Structure 1
């Protein structure tokens, strides 16, 4: 079977996405792809979801931070961004999602929008609620470990021990 000529092939755009959750969250590519499909179907309906054709091309997630590259048909980027913005949890773990940018090629999306983490996270002992606790500190905020969960805090809420 012959390939379609270039002018008849579908054109794609790539959404570079940043993910953030609690440090102990376990998010994998399959669960993220499932949530993207559900969000697209719930917001756009079956015809809109089929038009956008959302699929995860690249995915990496570790220590509460991650990146993803989602492939979308050209002309459907705004509905796709809206659908992805509807995702608030993956496998029960709350997650924050930010579209960093849109590109026409995978290479340009990776070079321009992915791979920049800013400050690395690190575990430190902090004083929170008049007790010394372990926290994952990143970019002026901290996820303080409580007995069985985490509490989000800014640098004004805790002191370094």
Structure 2
């Protein structure tokens, strides 16, 4: 089968996505892809989700921190951004999704917007709300165990 001429091929944009969840949680590329497709279909409908595409072409996730590159058809980037905003959990793990930027190639997207390595979490005792508690620090973010629940703070909130 012959390739389509360049002017007839679909034109793509690539969206860099930052993912963050509890340091103890983990999920796969397939699970994130499934949640993104569900969100896209629920938001845009069948025809709209097919037009937007939303395929995860690159994915890395470790220690509750990661990134992805999501493919969008040119002209449908805003629809994919809206669908990404609708993703709130993956495999029962609450996840924060942030858009880092948009690029015309995968390589440029990775070079501009995706960090080389994720920060390694450090479990330690922290002073929070006047008491010593167990916490997991990742950069300037700290997840503190408070009465069986997890509370999130910055390094300025804890000692």
Aligned twin of 1:54: 54
Q: Contact 2:66 / 2:118 at 8 angstroms: preserved in 1?
A: no
Q: CA deviation at 1:125?
A: 1.7
Q: Distance in 2 between matches of 1:82 and 1:36?
A: 10
Aligned twin of 1:143: 143
Q: CA deviation at 1:146?
A: 4.7
Aligned length in residues: 159
What do residues 19-40 of structure 1 show as CA deviations (whole Å, max 9, x unaligned)? 0110011111010000110010
Report the TM-score when normalising by structure 2.
0.90
Which has the higher mean CA deviation after the structures are superposed, 142-151 or 31-40? Answer: 142-151
Q: Distance in 1 between matches of 2:26 and 2:78?
A: 28
The alignment partner of 2:127 has SS state of strand
Instruction: Kindly indicate whether residue 87 of structure 2 is the aligned counterpart of residue 87 of structure 1.
Output: yes
Q: Distance in 2 between matches of 1:115 and 1:157?
A: 26
Aligned twin of 1:23: 23
The structure 1 segments of at least 4 consecutive aligned residues displaced by more than 6 Å after TM superposition are none
Give the unaligned 5+ runs of structure 2. Answer: none
Report the TM-score when normalising by structure 1.
0.89
TM alignment of 1:1-161, pairs within 5 A: 1-115=1-115, 121-146=121-146, 148-159=148-159
Give the unaligned 5+ runs of structure 1. Answer: none
Q: Distance in 2 between matches of 1:106 and 1:141?
A: 29
Q: Distance in 1 between matches of 2:37 and 2:67?
A: 17
Q: Distance in 1 between matches of 2:152 and 2:75?
A: 37
